[in-house]
C-alpha cells in the first residue's frame, strides 16, 4: 500500500524558536519510530532556510507555502520555485484557498505556479475546494472539476503533483466534512484524474484531504477511499497532535 503523506501547513505562524522546537520534536520521533506515513512541514518563507538546515538528510520533507510563476525578476516579496528548491524544499503548496482569497489567485495563476514548481524539481501540492455557498447550492463537484481542470499544469504526471481537497468551509472552523462527503469528492477526483492521465492513477497521484484534521478524526478521514494523506493546518503546530495524525 502506498505511504500516506501528512503535510503540515504552518500558515503565517511560527518563529525561530518555535521551528527549532517543533522540527526537533518531529525529527526525534521519526528517528525512533518507523512510520507508515511520510511527513512534511510547510513553514513561512522566512523560516525555510532554518528548517531545511535542520531537516537535511532526514526523513522530514519541507515545502514552501507559495511560489512565483517566474524564475526571477522584479517581484517584490515573492519567492521563486528555484529558490525553494535551492533551499532544500521538496514541495510547495499552490492555490491554497487563503491565497486564492487573500491574493486573488485564479486557477490560471495556480497552474502557472504549479508548472514553475515542476520545472524547478518541486512537487506542487495543488489545493482545490468549494466554499460553503457552493456546497449549499449543490455545486461542489462542478467547482472541484473546474479547479482540477484549470489548475493542473501541462507538465503534470501522476507522480509529480499532489492534489489537496480542502473544502473552504472546513478550514480552521472545526467543521469537518463527513467521511461520506470526503469519499464522494475524492472518488470523483480520482475518476477525473484517471481520465485526464488516461491511466489508473490510484496510489500514484496522491489526493490529500484538508480541513480541521486533528488526532480525533484523522483515523476516520484517512481511512476513506482515495484519501492518500492530509494537509493539516492548526493541528500541525503542536508536535504531539501532528505526529498523532500520521502515526495511528
Ligand X SMILES: O=C[C@H](O)COP(=O)(O)O
Which residue stretch of 112-120, 142-150, 205-213, 240-248 sits at the interface with ligand X (rule: CB under 6 A)?
A: 205-213
Question: Count of residues binding ligand X (CB under 6 A)?
Answer: 14
Three-state secondary structure of 166-235: CCHHHCCCCCCCCHHHHHHHHHHHHHHHHHHHCCCCCCCCCEEEECCCCHHHHHHHHCCCCCCEEEECHH
Residues 6+ apart with CB under 8 A from 53: 88
Residue 211 annotated in ligand binding: no
Classified as helix, coil or strand, 17 is helix
* Closest distance of CB 155 from ligand X, Å: 23
By CB under 6 A, what part of segment 7-26 binds ligand X?
A: 9
* Closest distance of CB 230 from ligand X, Å: 8
Whole-number Å distance between alpha carbons of 221 and 182: 8
Residue 33 annotated in ligand binding: no
* Closest distance of CB 163 from ligand X, Å: 13
The answer to whether the beta carbons of residues 210 and 171 sit under 8 Å apart is: yes
Which residue stretch of 18-26, 82-90, 182-190, 211-219 sits at the interface with ligand X (rule: CB under 6 A)?
A: 211-219
Rule CB under 6 A: is residue 95 a binding residue for ligand X?
no
Rule CB under 6 A: is residue 63 a binding residue for ligand X?
no
Is residue 166 annotated as a catalytic residue, yes or no? yes
Rule CB under 6 A: is residue 109 a binding residue for ligand X?
no
DSSP string over 32-77: H---SEEEEEE--GGGHHHHHHHHTTSS-EEEES--BSSSSSS-TT
The active-site residue out of 68, 98, 166, 186 is 166
Residue 234 annotated in ligand binding: yes
Is residue 240 annotated as a catalytic residue, yes or no? no
Figure out which of the listed residues 14, 95, 234, 246 binds ligand X, where binding follows CB under 6 A: 234
* Closest distance of CB 218 from ligand X, Å: 11
Whole-number Å distance between alpha carbons of 20 and 18: 5
Residue 191 annotated in ligand binding: no
Whole-number Å distance between alpha carbons of 48 and 202: 31
Figure out which of the listed residues 128, 161, 163, 171 binds ligand X, where binding follows CB under 6 A: 171
Rule CB under 6 A: is residue 233 a binding residue for ligand X?
yes
The active-site residue out of 96, 98, 105, 186 is 96
Chain-centroid distance of CA 164 in Å reads: 5
Whole-number Å distance between alpha carbons of 8 and 22: 11
Q: Which residues are annotated as a binding site?
A: 9-11, 172, 212, 233-234
Q: Which residues are annotated as a binding site for substrate?
A: 9-11, 172, 212, 233-234
Residues recognised as catalytic: 96, 166
Give residues in contact with ligand X (CB under 6 A). Answer: 9, 96, 166, 171-172, 210-213, 231-235
Amino acid at each position: 500500500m502506498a505511504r500516506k503523506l501528512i503535510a503540515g501547513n504552518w500558515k503565517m505562524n511560527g518563529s525561530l524558536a518555535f521551528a527549532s522546537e517543533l522540527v526537533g520534536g518531529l525529527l526525534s520521533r521519526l528517528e525512533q519510530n518507523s512510520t507508515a506515513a511520510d511527513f512534511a512541514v510547510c513553514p513561512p518563507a522566512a523560516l525555510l532556510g532554518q528548517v531545511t538546515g535542520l531537516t537535511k538528510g532526514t526523513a522530514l520533507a519541507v515545502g514552501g507555502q507559495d511560489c512565483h510563476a517566474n524564475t526571477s525578476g522584479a517581484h517584490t516579496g515573492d519567492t521563486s520555485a528555484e529558490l525553494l528548491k535551492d533551499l532544500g524544499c521538496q514541495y510547495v503548496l499552490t492555490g491554497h484557498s487563503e491565497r486564492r482569497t487573500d491574493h486573488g489567485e485564479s486557477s490560471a495563476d495556480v497552474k502557472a505556479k504549479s508548472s514553475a514548481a515542476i520545472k524547478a524539481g518541486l512537487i506542487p501540492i495543488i489545493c482545490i475546494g468549494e466554499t460553503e455557498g457552493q456546497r449549499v447550492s449543490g455545486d461542489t463537484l462542478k467547482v472541484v472539476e473546474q479547479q482540477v481542470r484549470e489548475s493542473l499544469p501541462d507538465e503534470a504526471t501522476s507522480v509529480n503533483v499532489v492534489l489537496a481537497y480542502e473544502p473552504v468551509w472546513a478550514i480552521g472552523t472545526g467543521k469537518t466534512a463527513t467521511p461520506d462527503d470526503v469519499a464522494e469528492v475524492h472518488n470523483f477526483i480520482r475518476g477525473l484524474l484517471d481520465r485526464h492521465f488516461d491511466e489508473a492513477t490510484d496510489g500514484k497521484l496522491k489526493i490529500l484531504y484538508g480541513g480541521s484534521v486533528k488526532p480525533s478524526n484523522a483515523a476516520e478521514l484517512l481511512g476513506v477511499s482515495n484519501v492518500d494523506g492530509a494537509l493539516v493546518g492548526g493541528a500541525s503546530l503542536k508536535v504531539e497532535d501532528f505526529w498523532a495524525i500520521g502515526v495511528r
